[in-house]
A and B are shown apart, each in its own frame.
Chain A
Amino acid sequence: MARSVPLPEATGPLLDIKGLRIDGRSEDRWHEIVKGIDLTLRRGEVLGLIGESGAGKSTIGLAAMGYARPGCRISAGVVLFNGTDILKASEAERRRLWGSRIAYVAQSAAASFNPAHKLLDQCVEASIGHQIAAEEDAKRNAVDLFRRLRLPEPEQFGFRYPHQVSGGQLQRAMTAMAMSCRPDLIIFDEPTTALDVTTQIEVLAAIKDIVRQFNTAAIYISHDLAVVAQMADRVMVLRYGELVEEAPTRAMLSAPQKAYTKSLWAVRSLRKEEETGDEILLDVRGVDASYGTLKVLHDINVKVPRGRTVAVVGESGSGKSTLARVITGLLPPRAGTIRFDGKPLPPRLKDRDKSLLRRIQMIYQMPDTALNPRRRIRDILGRPLKNHLGLSGAAREKRTLELLRMIELDERFLDRLPNELSGGQKQRICIARALAIDPELIICDEVTSALDQLVAEEILKLLLRLQKELNVSYLYITHDLATVKAIADEIVVMYQGRVVESGAKSQVLAPPHHEYTELLLSSVPEMDPDWLDGILKKRENASLSA
């Protein structure tokens, strides 16, 4: 692993980007998506890039490697890495830097590992390919990195295929892969965004630890301020490809200067006043459900009062979405009963009559796939009106417009296709479609998870307003506790197919907690740069004293 020639310990910065401009191609035209960014990074420093989707974070991160994705082109600027402009370097010269001096950790490790090869082979590929280490040494080094990243059975871990390990482990393996040549710089592109909070904290700790051990410089890209606060020494806030402001992390957190930055800070402060409800609309009692022989729900009890929101919270695999499938009749339960408005709900979808179908509606996580891309908004909203309410002609048109106004859009959207709408607008259309036929219960399955924070906040506000106006009940499925605080009256905590805790919001969020609720709550990153270190120390002490 010895560097043959000691790098000229240049006085200049490790990375110096000046006047970076990047174009993206859409609708057969080039649009500028990064508009003149300057960025410097010292050796061993961690820089956070933060912003919503479309801010150009990932594009800038990749440009720091001299790489532009297909459909993008770097149109101007210099990227000096160790003093040489890698934009002017040849493809082969850049390839020599990639993996060895600059490495990249992508958002979805599951998609970024080749499914056809074992993890170890992929983790040593760079160091063998760059002739930095012989195969034996590279493998020993990878096992060492697995151990440092606290992966289980580090000796055996590398012999598994990507599909055989969990998402959190894959993300750490990806970090090991990036670390394999001891690069000077690693670009972390939202490495924990796809993970559950309880897993995220482990990955964050592992990354922070190893970056510190090897004194690696890093660019840490995230839309989550609290995460960046844990990782970065300095933060740059980006919007529409431009710098909003830049400051050391602590200064940025305590005194943001620009209105946009402050608005990002404010998102998490949305709180709904808790209200209790007496009339039970949906009553799920002792429900078991299974996929084939695999039992996924055990004795689930959930009550949803009329006009209130019950948040179902838990990590992936906890059975939240399965519960939604059971209630909607897509997956008949093995045992237990579900009563709706006092009457038993037929377990199978096909046994439910049309009026019952009308009363329970659903909104999904991905508005992109929930809307038929070939149908105009007029048809998307008009169809349930025709099928369920028998509306046609002017009456249908009138109601469609009414719905659009309800979700704060106007008649200009009537003739558009879903692709012409933004993510937030699409989700509004999904909400309107669910509302079109006056349902009493709407099941919201992670409806804000795919949206940016500011957009998500708008959607949550809309849902709350509609609830007040229409007295509709929500069963709100989410893994995000900030959302729960914002929208719920009652909370149901699920873990491995069981309800571990439930009750009014104030009661569940206040101690004493169930063990799992405690873990979940304490894993949510806070806007405090010392939070991660603090929580890890606390957990270590707890496990020592136990």
Chain B
Amino acid sequence: MNPIVKTVLQRLGLGLVTLFVVSIVIFSAVTLLPGDFATAILGQSATPETVAAFQRQIGLDRPPVLRYLVWIGGVLRGDLGESFSSAGGLGGGHVRTVVSLVVPRLKNTLFLASFAALIAVPLSLALGMLAALYRNSVFDRLVNLVTLTSISVPEFFIAYILMLFLAVRLPIFYSLANVSADTPLLERIARCALPAMTLVLVIVAHMMRMTRAAIINLLASPYIETARLKGVTPGRIIFRHALPNAWAPIATVIAINLAYLIVGVVVVEVVFVYPGIGQLMVDSVSARDIPVVQASALVFAVTYVLLNLLADIVSIVANPRLLRPR
């Protein structure tokens, strides 16, 4: 069988197993959360009878195993359940499904993540290659210094600094990224500029340093010496002879950072008031809106599995030994 197809199938199978285990972990963690939705909604003064009645209404009185089975059964059918906060008479009558809450938020998050990734990935590859080419030069040190600083500073701090200088002192960008579903694309990009910039600064260092290290590691290989002694120019040596052999470690790091862009951006979302899935999850946790929390966590797990699968595929495609056995 084609090695790519084989690996993809293998990893997909493993990914499903992982997701199953993760679903148990998510469910257990959420169940173990102190406090419950009924008390959170009804307030401290609610009588035990009222709380019990409300719990019965949204199904919280059933044993955890049964609740897990109902939930996971729904997930398998594509039904993530209903949001607690809209259940019964509390939501003002109309019931909101988890899907209708999560999907628009996920779209927003994916938009911001893609925006940041489209800048950060090429930028860090280019910087990494240049740093490898001119290693130990002033340029190399400067790039290392700047990226390391940006990764060491907390992201909310970067966010506020950017906001202060690029939105308040010099009003170039929007300071808040409060978009809605009907915001036109151009305005959406403009409003997302600062959050995207913050994310780029946060993830560039890791990818750039991995690119640099992977390439420098290969520069000691005999085939690089052969290329040099053929009279190949230094730039071409990096780009044509070292980079193709460095894809595997670089792709893994890129995958981790892309996953971070989707699952780890809650701080940036909060700072810029961006309606992403991270904020949704945090709000749902404080409101004890369990179905939404579980759905968000599951989305994050799927993100990790898929991006790592992608990194594996890149590693295979980049390696002729795996792609074309003898």
Q: How many A-B residue pairs have CB under 8 A?
A: 76
Contacts of A102-130 to chain B: CB distance below 8 A: 103-104, 106, 108, 111-117, 125-126, 129-130
Contact A98 B230 (CB under 8 A): yes
Task: State whether the Cβ of B231 lies closer than 8 Å to any Cβ in chain A.
Answer: yes
Task: State whether the Cβ of B142 lies closer than 8 Å to any Cβ in chain A.
Answer: no
A100 cross-chain contacts in B, Cβ below 8 A = 231
A189 vs B173: C-alpha distance when bound (angstroms): 61
Contact A116 B244 (CB under 8 A): yes
A65 cross-chain contacts in B, Cβ below 8 A = 229
Contact A98 B228 (CB under 8 A): yes
B230 cross-chain contacts in A, Cβ below 8 A = 98-99, 103, 125-126, 129, 177
Contact A117 B244 (CB under 8 A): yes
Task: State whether the Cβ of A468 lies closer than 8 Å to any Cβ in chain B.
Answer: no
Contacts of B254-312 to chain A: CB distance below 8 A: none
Contacts of B217-252 to chain A: CB distance below 8 A: 220-223, 225-233, 236, 240-241, 244-245
Contacts of A156-176 to chain B: CB distance below 8 A: 161, 163-164
A112 vs B221: C-alpha distance when bound (angstroms): 8
Task: State whether the Cβ of B94 lies closer than 8 Å to any Cβ in chain A.
Answer: no
Contact B233 A95 (CB under 8 A): yes
Q: Distance (Å) between the CB of A464 and the closest chain B CB?
A: 37
- Picked from A70, A116, A129, A163, the residue with its CB within 8 Å of the CB of B233 is A129
Contact B321 A130 (CB under 8 A): no
Contact B318 A116 (CB under 8 A): yes
- Picked from A104, A116, A117, the residue with its CB within 8 Å of the CB of B229 is A104
Q: Distance (Å) between the CB of A171 and the closest chain B CB?
A: 13
A96 vs B230: C-alpha distance when bound (angstroms): 9
Q: Distance (Å) between the CB of A210 and the closest chain B CB?
A: 18
Task: State whether the Cβ of A260 lies closer than 8 Å to any Cβ in chain B.
Answer: no
Task: State whether the Cβ of A508 lies closer than 8 Å to any Cβ in chain B.
Answer: no
- Picked from A70, A95, A114, A161, the residue with its CB within 8 Å of the CB of B231 is A95
A115 vs B324: C-alpha distance when bound (angstroms): 12
Contact B326 A114 (CB under 8 A): no
Task: State whether the Cβ of B13 lies closer than 8 Å to any Cβ in chain A.
Answer: no
Contact B231 A99 (CB under 8 A): yes
| Most chain A beta-carbon neighbours within 10 Å: one of B220, B221, B222, B319 | B222
**CB-based nearest B residue for A163:** B321
A99 vs B241: C-alpha distance when bound (angstroms): 16
Q: A106-B222, A106-B226, A161-B324 are in contact. Are A115 and B245 (CB under 8 A)?
A: yes
Task: State whether the Cβ of B320 lies closer than 8 Å to any Cβ in chain A.
Answer: yes
B321 cross-chain contacts in A, Cβ below 8 A = 115, 161, 163
Q: A108-B222, A114-B223, A114-B241 are in contact. Are A96 and B231 (CB under 8 A)?
A: yes
B236 cross-chain contacts in A, Cβ below 8 A = 129
Contact B233 A111 (CB under 8 A): no
Contacts of B159-216 to chain A: CB distance below 8 A: none
| Most chain A beta-carbon neighbours within 10 Å: one of B225, B230, B245 | B230
Q: A161-B320, A163-B326 are in contact. Are A111 and B222 (CB under 8 A)?
A: yes
Task: State whether the Cβ of A265 lies closer than 8 Å to any Cβ in chain B.
Answer: no
A125 vs B245: C-alpha distance when bound (angstroms): 18
A104 vs B245: C-alpha distance when bound (angstroms): 22
Q: Distance (Å) between the CB of B237 and the closest chain A CB?
A: 10
A161 vs B232: C-alpha distance when bound (angstroms): 20
A264 cross-chain contacts in B, Cβ below 8 A = none
Contact B231 A115 (CB under 8 A): no
Q: Distance (Å) between the CB of B308 and the closest chain A CB?
A: 23
**CB-based nearest B residue for A118:** B320
Contact B320 A129 (CB under 8 A): no
Contact A111 B221 (CB under 8 A): yes
**CB-based nearest B residue for A180:** B230
Contact B326 A164 (CB under 8 A): yes
A117 vs B237: C-alpha distance when bound (angstroms): 13
Contact B231 A106 (CB under 8 A): no
Contacts of A43-102 to chain B: CB distance below 8 A: 65, 67, 69-70, 95-100
A523 vs B110: C-alpha distance when bound (angstroms): 66
Contact A98 B244 (CB under 8 A): no
Contacts of B53-91 to chain A: CB distance below 8 A: none
A70 cross-chain contacts in B, Cβ below 8 A = 220
**CB-based nearest A residue for B221:** A111
What would be 30 A-B contacts, judged by CB atoms less than 8 Å apart?
A67-B228, A69-B225, A95-B233, A98-B229, A98-B231, A99-B229, A99-B231, A104-B226, A111-B221, A112-B225, A112-B226, A113-B223, A114-B241, A114-B245, A115-B223, A115-B245, A115-B320, A115-B321, A116-B319, A117-B240, A125-B227, A125-B230, A125-B232, A126-B230, A126-B231, A129-B231, A129-B232, A163-B320, A163-B326, A164-B326
Contact surface of B with A, Cβ cutoff 8 Å: 220-223, 225-233, 236, 240-241, 244-245, 318-321, 324, 326
Given contacts A129-B232, A163-B321, A164-B324, could you give 16 more A-B pairs where the C-beta distance is less than 8 Å?
Answer: A65-B229, A104-B226, A106-B222, A114-B223, A114-B227, A114-B244, A116-B241, A116-B244, A116-B245, A117-B244, A126-B232, A129-B233, A130-B231, A161-B324, A163-B320, A164-B326
Contact surface of A with B, Cβ cutoff 8 Å: 65, 67, 69-70, 95-100, 103-104, 106, 108, 111-117, 125-126, 129-130, 161, 163-164, 177
8 closest Cβ contacts across the A-B interface? A99-B230, A99-B231, A116-B244, A98-B231, A111-B222, A104-B229, A126-B230, A112-B226
